[in-house]
Structure 1
Amino acid sequence: MKIALFTDTFPPQVNGVSLTLQRWAEHMERRQVETRIFVPRCTQEDPEAPGVLRSLSVPLFFYPEHRLSFPNPFFIRRELREFRPDLIHVTTPFNMGLMGLHIAKKEGIPLVASYHTHFDRYLQYYRLQFLSSWIWNYMRWFHESCELLLAPSDETKQLLENKGLPRLDLWRRGVDTELFCPSRANHAFRRRYHIEGQHVLLYVGRMAPEKDLDVLAGAMKKLPGSFRDQVHWVLVGDGPMREELEAEKLPHITFTGTLRGEALAEAYASADAFVFPSTTETFGNVVLESLAAGTPAVVARAGGVKEIVEHGRTGWFASPRSVDGLVEGICHLLGNSERLRWMGKEARRMALEQSWDQIFDRLLFRYEAIVERKTARHAHAG
């Protein structure tokens, strides 16, 4: 089988989607499935990789961490005619995805799409709610010719069904339990960031309005004094809200910027609890990474995150956008060290069941079934 992937996000961009797709590419290589991956170029120093073909892109004016691609149709058509893919997979409904959609229709190549981002939920954070109905009309048009639309969680799948999108199935996410594991915890992490508090509370993700970081800041300020003085906050990531959060000069807080690989794994494992207030997640990769590191999570009871955390066992649910709920969860976890250790062990046990290999192999099986159906249809027509 030969697969062409079209996406508007891919490493060196750092987000859950790009890292998932990097793992996808690595798995396809191990399974000896030929791929061509069409992605945006972020800088002239982007790493070159076999089968990864980059197109011109520019940062979005209101969100520079995301990029708008300008694929060259002549170059891409030439590449695909030489490659002759059996199936095209698109992960975005925008410029790069449109190119994949156009070529799939024109050449009669089966098309699979995956849904990764609740764009309509982001609109309220940028005062663009009036675009919501237009976006869903566009999404229905974009996906009507897809053989399959993959959602990362039951919650997201149900939303898409309710919006009238057809031919849905699940494509869940896994976690690297060798990289993200409790043994990465060490005192060097505390020394590096001058952490003196008894407890470390961690956030990992984009620093942007749609992550509900105003709720996180409110919880920092509202923690009871008995906890506030014992806690050191570590915020990992970057984005348009970082400068605003730094300007608040909250006590006992460290901004690390983006961390990758072992440095990120060390942060997860060295924290006592992970705090993630976002209500806009289709899945929540960072939450699963935290659990794999043996670090329980306090999260909003919203989106795909609800399907990762088990309340009272591997973490704690707070009501969406509730400062008080977030504070209650933090205090519950930190208030009993024995219970916290037990929850960390349960979190690790749950994460060990989330195998990337099984998840990607199931995706490959779906690809094969779609290609076989097309072959059978052509044979019948002939």
Structure 2
Amino acid sequence: MHILRVANFVSPTSGGIKTALRAWGEHYQEMGHRASLIIPGPGQEITEESQGLVYRVPATPIPGSGYSLMWSRVGMVRLLEAIAPDALEVSDRATTRWMGRWARSRGIGSVMISHENMTGILVRRTPVPDRPAHWAADFINRRSAYDYDAIVCPSQFAAEEFHRNGIDAHVVPLGVDLETFRPVRDVHAWTPPAPGEATQIVHCSRLSPEKNPGLTIETVRELIRRGHDVRLTVFGAGPMLGALIERAQNLPVTFHSYITDRAELAARMGQADVAISPGPLETFGLAALEVLALGVPVVCSDEGALQEVVGSGGTVKPSTPVAFADGIEELLARPGAHAAARAQAELFNWPTSAQRMIAIHEQVAQSVRSPAIP
């Protein structure tokens, strides 16, 4: 089976979606399938990568976001026709939704992956009142379900906005590279920092409004107010970087430049005593899972899907600096917290995730070949 993946919201500094696309593509091929990918690029380019052929096509930058969008439907149709896939997998329910209809018109099975929570985005990032925002999200989700043969979500939280409309949505959790992201020290022998040693805290996520990175800064401020000696290292890039640097003035916060090498990122994050993952709209939380795999327990928000991922590997708190500071204190005092973090991460892996995706593609392909008789 030749599976063509298409994703708009991928940039050189994006995180979870790019990681998932790469991992799925690599495992699809290991399972004997062919994988291709279309993503935005500064120009036209085709490269052979570990995840298969990658087509980068001209795209229009979105000011202040770090992303670009592929708008040319005529050009995209030509490319889709030239690639001639057996299955289509689209990671965007908005600007590329028409591709589901294109695939159906050619007898090709299509799957849409919902990497974001449309309801949360409309409620939190637009001036639309809550009730109309829910109506708009429901309309968009119903259209997506109509246009594609199957919907896939990475968590129960992400699937809920489909389920509330009676729409079937497969839940396929993402995975983590347990070899690259493995503890750099003995998780069973971890002890709290001795007097005079600072507690090392790490934040790793895109620095954008939906990730709520300001909560991490304010949690450090609260911990210092309580008399704790802490040091925060922020790993990530995004449109809020400048504002966060200004906000963190006079605090023990280091903003690390974007690290492309996954092994180097793991080595640096693995030195932390505890991690903060504050995103309230996460539909999975791959960055949090990678930190857990390093044997670093995580304080996460009680909103979104993070609590599904973090589980016994950390603690779940309301999105306030006081509550998150309480969570840091709890994890530092919890026996076996670091071993539990690694054990929780081991519940997730990419081979299982990819196998479940392939099963959905095969199910869709069968239904396309044998349509139900009215």
Alpha-carbon distance between aligned partners in 2 of 1:290 and 1:355, rounded to the nearest angstrom: 14
1:183 counterpart SS class: coil
RMSD: 2.6
**Structure 2 gap segments, 5+ residues each:** 187-195
Alpha-carbon distance between aligned partners in 1 of 2:45 and 2:108, rounded to the nearest angstrom: 33
Q: Which amino acid aligns with 2:110?
A: L
Aligned residues of 1:150 and 1:171 also touching (Cα < 8 A)? yes
**TM-score by structure 1 length?**
0.85
Alpha-carbon distance between aligned partners in 2 of 1:120 and 1:250, rounded to the nearest angstrom: 37
Alpha-carbon distance between aligned partners in 1 of 2:341 and 2:297, rounded to the nearest angstrom: 6
Give 1:214 shift: 2.8
For residues 55 and 174 of structure 1, do their structure 2 counterparts lie closer, same or farther at Cα, with a shift above 3 Å needed?
same
Q: Which amino acid aligns with 2:345?
A: A
Alpha-carbon distance between aligned partners in 2 of 1:140 and 1:250, rounded to the nearest angstrom: 48
Alpha-carbon distance between aligned partners in 1 of 2:180 and 2:47, rounded to the nearest angstrom: 22
Of the three residues 141, 148, 152, the one matched with 1:146 is: 148
2:67 counterpart SS class: strand
The residue aligned with 1:231 is 230
Alpha-carbon distance between aligned partners in 2 of 1:81 and 1:208, rounded to the nearest angstrom: 36
The residue aligned with 1:330 is 328
Q: Choose between structure 1 and 2: higher helix proportion.
A: 1
The residue aligned with 2:191 is none
1:255 counterpart SS class: strand
Alpha-carbon distance between aligned partners in 1 of 2:104 and 2:47, rounded to the nearest angstrom: 31
Alpha-carbon distance between aligned partners in 1 of 2:45 and 2:90, rounded to the nearest angstrom: 25
Give 1:141 shift: 1.4
The residue aligned with 1:348 is 342
The residue aligned with 2:136 is 134
Q: Which amino acid aligns with 1:223?
A: L
**TM-score by structure 2 length?**
0.87
Aligned residues of 1:55 and 1:70 also touching (Cα < 8 A)? no
Give 1:129 shift: 2.6
For residues 2 and 298 of structure 1, do their structure 2 counterparts lie closer, same or farther at Cα, with a shift above 3 Å needed?
same
The residue aligned with 2:35 is 35
For residues 44 and 256 of structure 1, do their structure 2 counterparts lie closer, same or farther at Cα, with a shift above 3 Å needed?
farther
Aligned residues of 1:184 and 1:266 also touching (Cα < 8 A)? no
Q: Percent identity?
A: 23
Aligned residues of 1:197 and 1:232 also touching (Cα < 8 A)? no
Aligned residues of 2:3 and 2:89 also touching (Cα < 8 A)? yes
Q: Which amino acid aligns with 2:214?
A: D
Give 1:32 shift: 2.5
Aligned residues of 1:291 and 1:314 also touching (Cα < 8 A)? yes
Give 1:10 shift: 3.8
Alpha-carbon distance between aligned partners in 2 of 1:46 and 1:211, rounded to the nearest angstrom: 32
Q: Which amino acid aligns with 2:346?
A: L
Give 1:201 shift: 0.3
Give the number of aligned pairs: 358
Deviates more, 1:76-85 or 1:211-220: 76-85
The residue aligned with 1:189 is none
Give 1:216 shift: 2.1
Aligned residues of 1:110 and 1:147 also touching (Cα < 8 A)? yes
Q: Which amino acid aligns with 1:39?
A: I
Aligned residues of 1:318 and 1:325 also touching (Cα < 8 A)? yes
Once the two structures are superposed, residues 1-42 of structure 1 have per-residue CA deviations (whole angstroms, 9 ceiling, x without a partner) of 121211113463422011101111111222231233221114
1:308 counterpart SS class: helix
Give 1:374 shift: 2.1
1:117 counterpart SS class: coil
Aligned residue runs from structure 1 range 70-81, under 5 A:
70-71=71-72, 73-74=74-75, 76-81=76-81
Confirm or deny that 1:251 pairs with 2:245.
Answer: no
Give 1:258 shift: 1.6
For residues 297 and 326 of structure 1, do their structure 2 counterparts lie closer, same or farther at Cα, with a shift above 3 Å needed?
same
Once the two structures are superposed, residues 178-219 of structure 1 have per-residue CA deviations (whole angstroms, 9 ceiling, x without a partner) of 01111279xxxxxxxxxx952110000111222222322221
Aligned residue runs from structure 1 range 6-45, under 5 A:
6-10=6-10, 12-42=12-42
Give 1:359 shift: 1.3
Q: Which amino acid aligns with 1:151?
A: C
Q: Which amino acid aligns with 2:143?
A: W
The residue aligned with 2:215 is 215
The residue aligned with 2:193 is none
Of the three residues 355, 359, 366, the one matched with 1:372 is: 366
**Structure 1 gap segments, 5+ residues each:** 186-195
Alpha-carbon distance between aligned partners in 1 of 2:98 and 2:185, rounded to the nearest angstrom: 42
Aligned residues of 1:140 and 1:165 also touching (Cα < 8 A)? no
Alpha-carbon distance between aligned partners in 2 of 1:123 and 1:371, rounded to the nearest angstrom: 33
1:129 counterpart SS class: coil
Of the three residues 49, 58, 61, the one matched with 2:60 is: 58
Aligned residues of 1:57 and 1:68 also touching (Cα < 8 A)? yes
Alpha-carbon distance between aligned partners in 2 of 1:343 and 1:276, rounded to the nearest angstrom: 16
For residues 149 and 220 of structure 1, do their structure 2 counterparts lie closer, same or farther at Cα, with a shift above 3 Å needed?
same
Q: Which amino acid aligns with 1:152?
A: P
Deviates more, 1:143-152 or 1:170-179: 143-152
